[in-house]
């Protein structure tokens, strides 16, 4: 997943005459350069107003800046936008762009548009001299949708971090003058915004007044660390599953199968969204056509429905419903037990039920010498369980490089090109699957029970078909399954409850699909015929509905086949079964005819015998 989390660098200002720096106690500065950025959000909007004040001050009376030269300000493109969206957003920014000296008096500027993805440069000539008694200020204001995500009563405001090489103090090599540079960021929201849920970086200040709340972040906390502020503790999504069950049987006429449907039947098993404790995920069913013949929950808690459809006509399986989620507020955040690593290992090693979450597989090579060596090196000096998790996370972010070209190939072809943990860690092309596979292999090598989670993330109100996402879950005593997404590359690690992830399935083994297709015809399942739409909706409208069916009111069966079901499946979906359907009735009819003829013969003989006795 790639949004502002991946692109941490934002080039805000390049001064022709000076490149600035941060104050140390006891140091006297000749110049100060301050960038104060305010991101202002009004509840209900889908955009923010960004205002940046650039201030240049001279602290040493022996210096001044002339009017010569210009300043260059960079306004970035959103890295996850399509080309069309980037063009549209650029127009939106430029139409609202304002450059002033004091918030009122406009300053002339020119715009240089780079190729898509590299942003816009705004060039502003120096409009006045800068002296000891007269500071130089520029206000730049524009509107953008890039830094805010709003899904009904859930709002996220993100702002890019500073580059890892950002300096806060600079000394001129020629005249030894010292410059202090500051980068301050304020996120301003009104009192109507939903309750605060998450903030990163953790070090910030909060100021409240009657109308606004201001969250302030110092530049030193933003090095390679985007600012992330999330509001809202509830979210609702609608899901629609569609499977186009195309005709596979060209032999049995429909007029016969309409009498005996077992003559031409295909059977599909499809995953339905599951429920999950961490984010209080629960499911409400709206519609299922046709009705499934059975619904089971497997040992991982996954929900699987079996559907039977005619094989000799085109048909469709359709399931719709809603997913409700809830997370803790920032003040009441659910804590993750932070045991010592040794205590954690002692607890889980005593429970045989966790053994399947520690076994190696073809893609989770936890017993491979390379994986073991890597896993053990990450344990050094980490005495707490959560420190081990975070160290693994950081390592994967450092060693793996997200391959957007591979992601695009997957989206266009549905071919996942899975390479496994070892190859990924040795430089193989990686997307979310490789991040997840690599972490699971390392965790299992460290003795930490883990499994793959599959579902959807980065959701919006867009009702188009979605591509799935893979992340990791580890078992934590007195907590349950803890979600971790190492492909979310940020110091603000994605660990724990979240409203941005809809869990569909969880897997202890490497096979990441519960979709099954049974047919007597020599036909493979076409994954392109299977589509999932999932998009945010207003929770209030969902709760007002009286026709939705919660899972608690649906009869689930255990994940095992009894003899009757096994025979039924064989009869309907194998050539032998089809033959039996045709042959057995014929054999029964022939048997009945033989019996009838035998009885008739016996009756005739008895009748003749009686007539003979009469003479």
Beta bridge partners of 184: 36, 218
DSSP string, 160-175: --B-TT--SEEE-TTT
Does the domain made of 13-231 have the CATH classification 1.10.10? Answer: no
Q: What whole-number distance in Å separates Cα of residue 239 and Cα of residue 536?
A: 9
- pLDDT band (50, 70, 90) for residue 2: very low
Q: Which of 315, 277, 319 is nearest to 295 (CA)?
A: 319
Q: What whole-number distance in Å separates Cα of residue 501 and Cα of residue 458?
A: 8
Q: Exposure of 298 by Cβ count < 10 A (0-12 exposed, 13-18 middle, 19+ buried)?
A: middle
Task: Check residue 7 and give its pLDDT.
Answer: 37
Bigger pLDDT: 533 vs 22: 533
Query: How do 294-297 and 557-558 pair as beta strands?
Result: parallel
| CA geometry: angle 71, 72, 78, nearest 5 deg | 150
Q: Which fold has domain 341-496?
A: C8orf32 fold (3.10.620)
Helix H, strand E, coil C: the string for 348-410 is: HHCCHHHHHHCCCCCCCCCCCHHHHHHHHHHHCCCCEHHHHHHHHHHHHHHHCCECHHHHHHH
- Residue pLDDT, tens place only, 386-396: 999 999 999 99
For a pLDDT cut of 90, what percent of the chain falls above it?
Answer: 64
Task: Check residue 414 and give its pLDDT.
Answer: 67
- Residue pLDDT, tens place only, 146-158: 999 999 999 999 9
- Residue pLDDT, tens place only, 494-509: 999 999 999 999 999 9
Section 287-293 average pLDDT: 96
Low-confidence winner among 14-23, 259-268, 290-299, 476-485 (lowest mean pLDDT):
14-23
Task: Check residue 260 and give its pLDDT.
Answer: 80
Query: What is the CB neighbour count within 10 angstroms for residue 132?
Result: 13
- pLDDT band (50, 70, 90) for residue 612: low
State the average pLDDT for the chain.
88
Q: Which of 122, 36, 112 is nearest to 71 (CA)?
A: 122
- Residue pLDDT, tens place only, 64-97: 888 888 888 889 898 777 889 999 999 999 999 9
- pLDDT band (50, 70, 90) for residue 239: very high
Beta bridge partners of 377: none
Q: What whole-number distance in Å separates Cα of residue 403 and Cα of residue 432?
A: 9
Task: Check residue 404 and give its pLDDT.
Answer: 82
Q: Would you call 192 helix, strand, or coil by DSSP?
A: coil
Q: Would you call 190 helix, strand, or coil by DSSP?
A: strand
Residue 218 has pLDDT above 70, yes or no: yes
Section 462-487 average pLDDT: 94
Task: Check residue 194 and give its pLDDT.
Answer: 97
Bigger pLDDT: 9 vs 525: 525
Backbone CA torsion sign across 164, 168, 173, 174 = positive
- Residue pLDDT, tens place only, 322-363: 999 999 999 998 899 999 999 999 999 999 999 999 999 999
Q: What whole-number distance in Å separates Cα of residue 275 and Cα of residue 297?
A: 11
- Its pTM stands at 0.86
Q: Would you call 49 helix, strand, or coil by DSSP?
A: strand
Kindly give, in sequence order, each residue whose CB lies less than 8 Å from that of residue 420, ignoring residues fewer than 6 positions away: 362, 363, 364, 365, 434, 437, 441
Section 108-116 average pLDDT: 93
**CA–CA distances in Å: residue 527 to residues 313, 403, 429, 545:** 19, 23, 23, 33
Residue 134 has pLDDT above 80, yes or no: yes
For a pLDDT cut of 70, what percent of the chain falls above it?
Answer: 93
């Amino acid at each position: 997943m790639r949004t502002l989390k991946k692109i941490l660098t934002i080039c805000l200002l390049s001064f022709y005459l000076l490149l600035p720096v941060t104050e140390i106690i006891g140091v006297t500065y000749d110049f100060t350069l301050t960038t104060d950025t305010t991101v202002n959000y009004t509840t209900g909007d889908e955009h923010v107003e960004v205002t940046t004040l650039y201030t240049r001050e001279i602290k040493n009376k022996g210096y001044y800046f002339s009017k010569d030269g210009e300043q260059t300000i960079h306004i970035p493109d959103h890295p996850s936008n399509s080309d069309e969206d980037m063009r549209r957003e650029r127009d939106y920014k430029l139409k609202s762009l304002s450059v002033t000296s004091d918030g009122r008096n406009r300053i002339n500027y020119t715009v240089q548009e780079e190729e898509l993805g590299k942003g816009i440069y705004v060039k502003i000539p120096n409009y006045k001299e800068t002296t000891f008694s007269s500071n130089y200020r520029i206000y730049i204001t524009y509107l953008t949708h890039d830094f805010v995500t709003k899904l009904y009563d859930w709002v996220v405001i993100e702002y890019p971090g500073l580059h890892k090489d950002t300096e806060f103090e600079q000394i001129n090599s020629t005249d030894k003058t010292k410059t202090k540079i500051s980068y301050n960021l304020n996120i301003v929201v009104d009192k109507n915004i939903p309750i605060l849920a998450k903030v990163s970086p953790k070090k910030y200040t909060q100021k409240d007044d009657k109308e606004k709340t201001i969250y302030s972040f110092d530049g030193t906390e933003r090095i390679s660390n985007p600012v992330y502020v999330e509001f809202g503790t509830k979210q609702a999504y609608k899901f629609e599953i569609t499977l186009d069950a195309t005709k596979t049987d060209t032999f049995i006429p429909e007029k016969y199968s309409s009498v005996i449907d077992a003559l031409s039947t295909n059977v599909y098993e499809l995953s339905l969204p599951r429920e999950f404790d961490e984010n209080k995920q629960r499911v409400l069913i709206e519609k299922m056509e046709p009705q499934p013949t059975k619904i089971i929950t497997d040992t991982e808690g996954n929900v699987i429905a079996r559907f039977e459809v005619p094989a000799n006509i085109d048909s469709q399986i359709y399931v719709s419903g809603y997913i409700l989620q809830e997370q803790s507020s920032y003040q009441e955040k659910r804590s993750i037990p932070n045991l010592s690593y040794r205590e954690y290992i002692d607890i889980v090693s005593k429970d045989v039920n966790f053994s399947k979450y520690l076994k190696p597989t073809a893609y989770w090579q936890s017993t491979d010498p390379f994986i073991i060596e890597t896993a053990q090196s990450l344990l050094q000096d980490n005495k707490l369980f959560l420190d081990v998790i975070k160290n693994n996370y950081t390592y994967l972010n450092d060693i793996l490089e997200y391959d957007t070209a591979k992601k695009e190939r997957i989206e266009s072809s549905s071919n996942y090109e899975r390479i496994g943990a070892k190859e990924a860690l040795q430089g193989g092309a990686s997307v979310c699957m490789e991040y997840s596979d690599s972490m699971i292999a390392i965790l299992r090598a460290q003795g930490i029970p883990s499994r793959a989670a599959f579902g959807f993330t980065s959701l919006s109100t867009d009702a188009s078909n979605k591509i799935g996402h893979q992340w990791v879950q580890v078992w934590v005593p007195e907590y349950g399954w803890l979600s971790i997404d190492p492909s979310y590359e940020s110091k603000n690690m994605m660990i724990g409850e979240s409203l941005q992830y809809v869990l569909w399935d969880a897997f202890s083994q490497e096979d990441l699909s519960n979709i099954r297709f049974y047919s007597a015809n020599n036909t493979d399942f076409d994954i392109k015929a299977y589509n999932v739409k999932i998009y945010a909706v207003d929770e209030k409208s969902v709760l007002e509905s009286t026709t939705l069916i919660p899972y608690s009111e649906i009869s689930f069966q255990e994940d095992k086949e009894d003899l009757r079901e096994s025979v039924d499946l064989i009869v309907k979906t194998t050539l032998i079964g089809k033959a039996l359907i045709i042959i057995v009735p014929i054999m029964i009819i022939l048997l009945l005819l033989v019996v009838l003829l035998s009885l008739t013969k016996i009756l005739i003989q008895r009748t003749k015998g009686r007539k003979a006795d009469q003479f």
